[in-house]
Structure 1
C-alpha cells in the first residue's frame, strides 16, 4: 500500500463527513481511492487500488431509480401585481 506525502482531507461517501488523512500513513483502500492527486502520494503515482476503485454514480444508486429522467423545472410567471407595480398603477 502506498503512503501519503502530504495531509489530505476527503469526504467519506457513507457518512458525508470530512476525514483527515495524515502524511506518512497508509489510508484504508476506500479512502485511498478518494485521493486523486498523484502529488499526494510517495513516488508521485496513485496506488493501484485507487486506480481501479469504482465510484458510485447516480445510475448505480441502491434504490434502483437511476434510469428515471429528472424532473424539469418550468419557468414561473411573475406575481400578478408585478407588472402593475412596475407601471405605478394599482393593477385594477
Structure 2
C-alpha cells in the first residue's frame, strides 16, 4: 500500500514539475519568433516587488510566479478574471 501511494506521489510531483517547465517555456518564448531567438518578456515593474516578496515568504522563484501570472491572465490585463473551470483572480487559483 505504501509503495502505491509513494508512486502516486512521485507521479504527481513529476507531472507538476513538467507542467511548471512548460508554463515557463510558454511564458518566455513566442511561437512566431525564429528558433534561435529568445524573446525577453515585459514584466510590469509594479509586480516585481510582489513576486520577490512572495519568493522570500514561500520559496517559489519569482520568475516562476511571473510566468504563471503571464500565462493565466497576461499580467491581469484580461477582461474576465474567472475561468470556466472556476479559477479566479490574477493567478487563476481555485477558491
What's the TM-score once normalised by structure 1's chain length?
A: 0.20
What's the TM-score once normalised by structure 2's chain length?
A: 0.20
